[in-house]
Amino acid sequence: MASSHASNLWVLLGLGIAGILLAAKKLKKTIREDLGAFIDKLLLLPPPPPPPPKAPHPLTALSFAISDLFDVTGYVTGFGHPDWVRTHEPASSTCPVVSTLVEGGATCVGKTVVDELAFSISGETKHYESPTNPAAHDRIPGGASSGAAVAVATNAVDFALGIDTVGGVRVPAGYCGVLGFKSSHGAISNAGIIPVSSSLDSVGWFARDPNTLRRVGHVLLHLPFATPRNPRQIILADDYFQLLKIPVDRITQVVIKSAEKLFGKQLLKHQNLENYFESKVPSLKEYARTKAISSTKVPTSRLLANVMQLLQRHEFLQNHGDWINTVKPAIDPVISSQLSENSKLTNEEIENLNTVRNQTRAAINSLLKDDGILVIPTMPTIPPKLGSKEIISEDYQNRASSLLSIASISGCCQVTVPLGYHEKCPVSVSFIARHGGDRFLLDTVQTMYASLQENSSVIADPKSSKKTISQEESAEMAKEKGNQAFKEKQWQKAIGLYSEAIKLNDSNGTYYNNRAAAYLEIGSFLQAEEDCTKAITLDKKNVKAYLRRGTAREMLGVYKEAMDDFRHALVLEPNNKRASQSAERLRKLFHEQYLQMTTTGPARTSSLMDDLLGLLRIRIKRGVNLAVRDINSSDPYIVVKMGKQKLKTRVINKDVNPEWNEDLTLSVTDPSLTVLLTVYDHDMFSKDDKMGDAEFEIKPYIEALRMQLDGLPSGTIVTTVQPSRRNCLAEESKVTWIDGKLVQDLVLRLRHVECGEVEAQLQWIDLPGSKGL
């Protein structure tokens, strides 16, 4: 009896152990369903939605995850290392970035795996099971924010947060086939986030679609509503595409075809960045000299990569060196060797590295201005295989770091855009905009994404869309034949050929615009007006379409609308002679009609025009590090005064780095007058607070305008104004001849305040009938 009882006990015990093992196996399977993306599951719920008719929260119904670098109350922020968890207390507050997203209506569901100490870009970690790349299971997912990218790619969440220091968001986005956005350095607060390298760390996020990417960006960057802007130049960095180890055309042709279809060929430009950086970032030569990198000519791309790596290691040790020396954690040998190689930097070396960074940012900003996109590969290869030595090879590291260093060193914003597959692995391209151009970059991705995906499919599998390509090519051929007929003054034949092009491709504004020109030649003004209106609908910056529609309307006797078209053309191209002459012709017509109606008004008008030199357009671009006047931010706007004239910008809420990109136009009668610019903080219930002011002279700019500059190459610096005690310039101000226009760029340091700068640009508008210069 006792023996039977004992045997039953052993059977039960065996079944129990088997059950435990089965449950453990099942639990492991459940955990791996998200492919190892998460390290902690949690739930941060948004506030209740406001009752109708108020709009819902901007991120309502979206879920997100955060890399294990962001603090959440009650959780230890793990930093990718169990020894860090063991030696740190739970966070006492939640990171402001996370709180902003939750308050915006999104639900946070967990923390995701990061590389060890968020230091590498491989996505492999020995302390936790590495997340599996959903797009290629035998390939690395990329790091440092590997888990966040995987969580988005597996549809576990709608978007996820990461930190990009030397590629921590851009690389895993490219390798996992999702969108990844690195914000401009300093555009989003890093409070409540474990620092890796403070001067390089930028908040970034992943999404599967451009709309979600943009919605998250608008909430994080506190962007007010504004009309999206299209790029006016798309620059392909030809030499950087030579770093690719996959066919270059697999990436470049996708971008070229999409840009041509959406914006036209004229926007596309090619740039050799090696030569550009060599001339615009002279401090790189000094860096090479101090580091004895002079035995052979080292490319500037490699030097920038070296600067990035040096800064990362130096600042990482500044932040965490004491903890490493005290705790002595087990660190990956590759990371350990990189940190031990890094000797302590002198103050002079740090100053030189900062100079490199400042000059690189200025160079990129100068190249792209407010409306340019730089196109480069995200990474040089498809994702390397798990456990391969390729990721630590010198060739891979050099190529990857060269590509990643541009945005890291300059602090500019960059987005990774997936472009399908090559050899069954994800490939991507990266777009870079100037520092502070985050909204513009998000808008550009939104505009181009569908076309990029379509062309990616076509190029990856040409047979699938042969018909589509041949239709577009046929349309172009018909247009070219139409152009030839137009030159030969065969107007009806040209109209027929342009009509054929429109039939093949009705989304190209050029075809309508060209047909309108032919209609004008045969006196079909109504048809010309109709075609121009269609061309403008497709491209609101089509100057020729406004000019031709203005001509058609003038011939139809619709003078006011014609005047509006010519004026709009002048807004787009202030130096356009045809628009200026047409507007002047109509102005005289209106003036003559006015003389017939009254005898007292014209003398007064004539006197005013006799004194007027022209119009000064001041583009208020942005504010930088403006003073805080509310609890932790400000609601800034700018007032500009010259003589008795006073204009102001719109208010931008809760932003001490606001982007206005707003034009204020002053009439100039006396060039000796100065312009006073004052920044205010808008308050609802009290008097608006001053946030500093700056004053500048327009005389140097006017003197440059009086020079005979026609024929100068675009980009020529005509004169410069140096900072001094007599002006408020923060840096040298350049008066530059650009595309037939003279502009002056100003960075003004605000007075009577603790901090803040304002960036602006001057441009001249000649007014028909005025005294002129």
| Token pair listed for 5 | 């009882």
Q: Are 270 and 234 in contact (CB under 8 A)?
A: no
pLDDT at 426: 96
**Residues contacting 339, CB < 8 A, separation 6+:** 313, 316, 317, 324, 331
Q: Which amino acid, residue 463?
A: K
| 3-state secondary structure at position 692 | strand
Residue written as tokens 């002053």?
666
Burial call 443-480: b when 16+ CB within 10 Å, e when fewer: bbbebbbebbbbbbebbeeeeebeeeeeebeebbebbe
pLDDT at 14: 46
Sort strands 413-422 and 179-182 into parallel, antiparallel or unpaired. antiparallel
pLDDT at 713: 80
pLDDT at 376: 98
| Token pair listed for 13 | 């015990």
Q: Are 418 and 178 in contact (CB under 8 A)?
A: yes
pLDDT at 223: 87
Residue written as tokens 């930190």?
163
CA–CA distance, 588 with 10 (Å, rounded to integer): 109
CA–CA distance, 133 with 268 (Å, rounded to integer): 34
pLDDT at 598: 46
Measuring CA to CA, which residue among 765, 767, 743 is closest to residue 370? 743
List beta partners, residue 415: 181, 431
Q: Are 62 and 159 in contact (CB under 8 A)?
A: yes
CA–CA distance, 240 with 431 (Å, rounded to integer): 13
| Token pair listed for 308 | 């990035």
Sort strands 741-749 and 733-738 into parallel, antiparallel or unpaired. antiparallel
Reported as a single tens digit per residue, the pLDDT across 260-307 is 989 988 899 999 999 999 999 999 988 888 776 655 678 999 999 999
Reported as a single tens digit per residue, the pLDDT across 652-675 is 988 899 999 888 878 888 899 999
| Token pair listed for 659 | 């982007």
- For 640, how many CA atoms within 13 A lie in the half-sphere containing its CB? 23
pLDDT at 19: 45
CA–CA distance, 584 with 564 (Å, rounded to integer): 12
Residue written as tokens 């576990």?
156
CA–CA distance, 482 with 476 (Å, rounded to integer): 10
pLDDT at 86: 96
pLDDT at 59: 93
Angle between helices 394-410 and 300-327 (to 10 degrees): 90
First to last CA, the chain: 118
Q: How far is CA 753 from the centre of its chain?
A: 30
CA–CA distance, 660 with 760 (Å, rounded to integer): 10
CA–CA distance, 167 with 237 (Å, rounded to integer): 19
Residue count (the chain):
773
Q: Are 163 and 197 in contact (CB under 8 A)?
A: no
List beta partners, residue 471: none
Three-state SS letters, 707-746: CCCCCCCCCEEEEEECCCCCCCECCCEEEEEECCEEEEEE
| Token pair listed for 360 | 């690189």
CA–CA distance, 402 with 244 (Å, rounded to integer): 11
What is each CA distance from 218 to 173, 439, 487, in whole angstroms? 20, 8, 49
Q: How far is CA 574 from the centre of its chain?
A: 27
Q: What is the largest CA-CA distance in the chain?
A: 130
Long-range contacts of 330-336 (CB under 8 A, 24+ apart): 330/83, 331/116, 331/117, 332/116, 332/120, 332/126, 334/120, 334/392, 335/116, 335/117, 335/119, 335/120
Three-state SS letters, 46-76: CCCCCCCCCCCCCCCCCEEEEECCECCCCCC
Burial classification of residue 348, based on how many CB atoms lie within 10 Å of its CB (0-12 exposed, 13-18 middle, 19 or more buried): exposed
Q: What is the mean pLDDT of the chain?
A: 87
Sort strands 107-112 and 63-67 into parallel, antiparallel or unpaired. parallel
Measuring CA to CA, which residue among 238, 217, 241 is closest to residue 442? 217
Q: Give the CA angle between residues 674, 676, 680 to the nearest 5°.
A: 175
pLDDT at 25: 41
Q: Give the CA angle between residues 417, 418, 420 to the nearest 5°.
A: 155
Q: Which amino acid, residue 582?
A: S
Q: Are 729 and 723 in contact (CB under 8 A)?
A: yes
Measuring CA to CA, which residue among 286, 304, 305, 283 is closest to residue 294? 286
| Token pair listed for 51 | 């009752």
CA–CA distance, 640 with 638 (Å, rounded to integer): 7
pLDDT at 340: 84
* Residues of the chain scoring pLDDT < 70: 1-33, 52-54, 292-296, 342-343, 462-470, 556-557, 589-610, 767-770
pLDDT at 464: 53
Residue written as tokens 């910008």?
649
CA–CA distance, 461 with 442 (Å, rounded to integer): 28
Q: Are 379 and 401 in contact (CB under 8 A)?
A: no
Measuring CA to CA, which residue among 533, 489, 527 is closest to residue 509? 533
Q: Which amino acid, residue 53?
A: P
